[in-house]
């Protein structure tokens, strides 16, 4: 029974459960399965949206890449991009900025073609920009409208089109801003290049665009640039057997050289110069396309530079020789003056050839000057400037010695133009019978064959020291130059004498020099050791033991040109004998080269008293930077050097100090065309 009741109870429960199964299933579905389905569906939706957005971003990135690529193409021409592509493998990364917009030398441009090429490039870039915009809009409309948006509402389509329009305007604005920035950068680069050119390289740079050069001689510089590059390519064309191109280059080179001529500014160029430049530019462009090789061009330019430097050195040497020659010769006008005066002198009766006041010539109480010269005009300036600035000209006596060629001219000039109340006497060095080769070593040496070879075959390669023309001055052959070592013999009755060169000008009264205490020394002179090259080692050969053992290489040198000599002490010290001793030792020129200053430094070593520098200012014949105040305060100014004031190569700013003592209104000077 119990079992039946149990079975019946189970059956009852089963019936009850079957009756309530449907509501339970619905409850379970909404409580468990519905949320699960919701989240799964949302996840699928999000993933789908992410995929759509990723596709959109990729398309956006592709569009920007195309826009950037197009901007690059706008900046560079196809030739430049191809050149960079082909050259990167060999040369490594290149700086594209050097090729932007054809930024090459004006020599490489074909004149008359640039404008059309640039216009074509601009039109092409504008067309490409238009095509890019059209492709962008088509891509947007095609890809975005066809993909998953075919069933969008009109409102969504309108919003999408508005977004696309905004993107297009934004892209156009970016391109426009980029162009503005590019123009600003280009202008800044041009200004910076101008500043660099003017500060470092000058106002002209070989590789700079010619239309940026505002110099008045820019065309002349362009033509010179073309000449240089044409010569380079002629050489390269010859080496590569490009005979037709070589001939064409040579023809254009000759034409442009003829057009350039000696012009240094654009105003001096002929009207046909522009056509020549255009033709040369075309040929150079053609040569560049066929022959350009960086290493080869660099080598040719280096060779041309070395050749030019060698030519400059050779021309400098020739210029030095010519300046030495011009300095040591007598100009035609002065030679004319000497001849006319000589003829006039020998036409005078004998009684009219004498100077007055001859009793003053041996008076030790007067101020005596020694002047040795063969230049009539120069000697007249020395005498005139001295007497005009003397407080009492009557106490001044001039002892003038010249050679037999100019003896008559010197006498005649001072007979016609006496120096006021001063006394003057002219002598002929060839009449000093005691001055002969048996007595004077230098006179004996000048007569030797070796000395003649040294002078007259100086350009022979076997001659020692032939490169230094300075020591081949013709005045060293004249005894007038060496007579300064024989003053006591020439003037035996004088106690003191002031020696003057003929290239000096006296600006103040010199009588104060006779009261200067020489402290027992023989020579009173202005020292010239303000700089190292005026010391003894500059003039003497200290590799010789006779020099190195007796003299200090750092001893201070002094100047000939204005020297006060105490002839009493001279005789006591036997200065002439010391000079003879060293001159005999220097017969082979091993101690010093020719000249009078080196033997003077040796002879008066330890016997020279330094004078105040204001007495004697030097350098007006070679130094263009002598202080004007020093010149004006100096008692004597000295035109030592090659630029003598009576020569055309004299420095003009120093010449007036000399010319104001020349009597240019004299009829002899006018007849010989001597003028300021």
Q: What is the pLDDT of residue 95?
A: 45
Nearest to 292 by CA among 514, 536, 107, 160: 107
In sequence order, the β-bridge partners of residue 426 are 400
Give per-residue pLDDT as tens, 455-494. 666 554 444 444 455 555 556 667 888 899 999 999 999 9
Q: What is the pLDDT of residue 343?
A: 94
Type and span of the H or E element at 608: strand 608-610
d(CA 309, CA 317): 12
Q: What is the mean pLDDT of residues 86-98?
A: 45
Q: What is the mean pLDDT of residues 92-118?
A: 44
pLDDT greater at residue 654 or residue 531: 654
Give per-residue pLDDT as tens, 601-627. 999 999 999 999 999 999 999 889 899
Q: What is the mean pLDDT of residues 652-667?
A: 92
For residue 301, name the pLDDT band (cuts at 50, 70, 90): confident
Q: What is the mean pLDDT of residues 4-9?
A: 46
Q: Indicate if the pLDDT at residue 531 is higher than 60.
A: no
d(CA 169, CA 459): 84
Structural domain boundaries of the chain?
217-328, 333-457+472-672
Type and span of the H or E element at 396: strand 396-402
Q: Do strands 504-506 and 396-402 pair parallel, antiparallel, or not at all (unpaired)? A: unpaired
Give per-residue pLDDT as tens, 218-252. 888 888 888 888 888 888 888 888 888 889 889 98
Q: Indicate if the pLDDT at residue 510 is higher than 90.
A: yes
Q: Is the pTM of this model over 0.75?
A: no
Q: What is the pLDDT of residue 427?
A: 95
For residue 541, name the pLDDT band (cuts at 50, 70, 90): confident
Q: Indicate if the pLDDT at residue 352 is higher than 70.
A: yes
Q: Where is mean pLDDT largest: 1-5, 60-64, 142-146, 256-260?
A: 256-260
213: region left, alpha or beta (phi > 0 left; psi from -120 to 50 alpha):
beta
Length of the chain: 676
Q: Cα–Cα distances in Å, from 29 out to 23, 33, 37, 616?
A: 10, 5, 10, 129
Contact status, residue 644 vs residue 657, Cβ threshold 8 Å: no
Q: Cα–Cα distances in Å, from 455 out to 141, 164, 442, 445, 461?
A: 100, 97, 15, 12, 13
For residue 418, name the pLDDT band (cuts at 50, 70, 90): very high
Question: What average pLDDT does the structure give for the chain?
Answer: 77
Q: What is the pLDDT of residue 415?
A: 95
Q: Is 369 helix (H, G, I), strand (E, B) or coil?
A: strand
pLDDT greater at residue 27 or residue 224: 224
Q: Where is mean pLDDT largest: 312-316, 345-349, 591-595?
A: 345-349
pLDDT greater at residue 233 or residue 83: 233
d(CA 498, CA 431): 23
Q: What is the pLDDT of residue 2?
A: 45
Residues above pLDDT 90, as percent of the chain: 31
Q: What is the pLDDT of residue 41?
A: 57
Q: What is the pLDDT of residue 91?
A: 43
Q: What is the pLDDT of residue 477?
A: 67
Q: Which residues of 202-225 are buried (b: 16+ CB within 10 A; e: fewer)?
A: eebbeebbbeebeeebbbbbbbbb
Contact status, residue 398 vs residue 424, Cβ threshold 8 Å: yes
Superfamily per CATH, domain 333-457+472-672:
Spore Coat Polysaccharide Biosynthesis Protein SpsA; Chain A (3.90.550.10)
């Amino acid at each position: 029974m119990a079992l039946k009741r149990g079975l019946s109870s189970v059956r009852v429960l089963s019936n009850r459960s079957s009756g309530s199964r449907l509501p339970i299933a619905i409850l379970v579905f909404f409580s468990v399965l519905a949320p699960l389905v919701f989240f799964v569906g949302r996840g699928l939706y999000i993933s789908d949206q992410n995929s759509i957005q990723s596709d959109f971003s990729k398309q956006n990135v592709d569009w920007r890449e195309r826009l950037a690529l197009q901007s690059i193409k706008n900046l560079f021409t196809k030739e430049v991009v191809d050149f960079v592509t082909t050259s990167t493998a060999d040369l490594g990364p290149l700086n594209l900025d050097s090729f932007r917009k054809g930024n090459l030398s004006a020599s490489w441009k074909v004149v008359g073609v640039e404008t059309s090429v640039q216009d074509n490039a601009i039109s092409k870039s504008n067309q490409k920009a238009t095509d890019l915009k059209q492709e962008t809009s088509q891509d947007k409309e095609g890809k975005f409208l066809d993909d998953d948006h075919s069933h969008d509402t009109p409102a969504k389509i309108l919003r999408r089109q508005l977004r696309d329009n905004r993107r297009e305007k934004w892209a156009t604005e970016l391109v426009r801003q980029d162009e503005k920035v590019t123009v600003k950068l280009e202008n800044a680069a041009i200004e910076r290049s101008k500043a660099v050119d003017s500060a470092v390289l000058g106002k002209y740079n070989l590789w700079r665009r010619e239309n940026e050069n505002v110099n008045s001689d820019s065309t002349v510089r362009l033509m010179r640039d073309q000449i240089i590059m044409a010569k380079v390519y002629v050489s390269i064309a010859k080496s590569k057997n490009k005979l037709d191109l070589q001939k064409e280059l040579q023809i254009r080179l000759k034409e442009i050289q003829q057009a350039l001529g000696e012009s240094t500014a654009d105003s001096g160029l002929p009207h046909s110069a522009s056509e020549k430049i255009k033709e040369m530019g075309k040929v150079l462009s053609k040569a560049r396309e066929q022959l350009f090789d960086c290493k080869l061009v660099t080598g040719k330019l280096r060779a041309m530079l070395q050749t030019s430097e060698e030519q400059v050195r050779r021309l400098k040497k020739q210029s030095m020789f010519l300046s030495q020659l011009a300095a040591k010769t007598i100009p035609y006008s002065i030679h004319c003056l000497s001849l006319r005066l000589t003829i006039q002198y020998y036409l005078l009766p004998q009684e009219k050839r004498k100077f007055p006041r001859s009793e003053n010539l041996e008076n030790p109480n007067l101020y005596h000057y020694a002047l040795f010269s063969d230049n009539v005009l120069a000697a007249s300036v020395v005498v005139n400037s001295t007497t005009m600035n003397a407080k009492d000209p009557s106490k001044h006596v001039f002892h003038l010695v010249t050679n037999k060629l100019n003896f008559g001219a010197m006498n005649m000039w001072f007979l016609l133009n006496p120096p006021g109340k001063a006394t003057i006497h002219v002598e002929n060095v060839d009449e000093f019978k005691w001055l002969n080769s048996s007595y004077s070593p230098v006179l004996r040496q000048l007569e030797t064959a070796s000395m003649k070879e040294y002078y007259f075959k100086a350009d022979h390669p076997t001659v020692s020291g032939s490169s230094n023309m300075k020591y081949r001055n013709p005045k060293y052959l004249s005894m007038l130059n060496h007579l300064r070592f024989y003053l006591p013999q020439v003037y035996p009755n004088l106690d003191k004498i002031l020696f003057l060169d003929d290239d000096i000008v006296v600006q103040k009264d010199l009588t104060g020099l006779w009261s200067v205490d020489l402290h027992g020394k023989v020579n009173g002179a202005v020292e010239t050791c303000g700089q190292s090259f005026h010391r003894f080692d500059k003039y003497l050969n200290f590799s010789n033991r006779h020099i190195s053992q007796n003299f200090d290489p750092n001893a201070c040198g002094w100047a000939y040109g204005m020297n006060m000599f105490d002839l009493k002490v001279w005789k006591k010290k036997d200065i002439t004998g010391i000079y003879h001793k060293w001159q005999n030792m220097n017969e082979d020129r091993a101690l010093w080269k020719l000249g009078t200053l080196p033997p003077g430094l040796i002879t008066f070593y330890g016997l020279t008293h330094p004078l105040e520098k204001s007495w004697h200012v030097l350098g007006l014949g070679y130094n263009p930077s002598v202080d004007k105040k020093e010149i004006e305060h100096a008692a004597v100014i000295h035109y030592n050097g090659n630029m003598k004031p009576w020569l055309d190569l004299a420095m003009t700013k120093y010449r007036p100090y000399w010319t104001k003592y020349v009597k240019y209104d004299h009829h002899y000077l006018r007849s010989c065309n001597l003028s300021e």
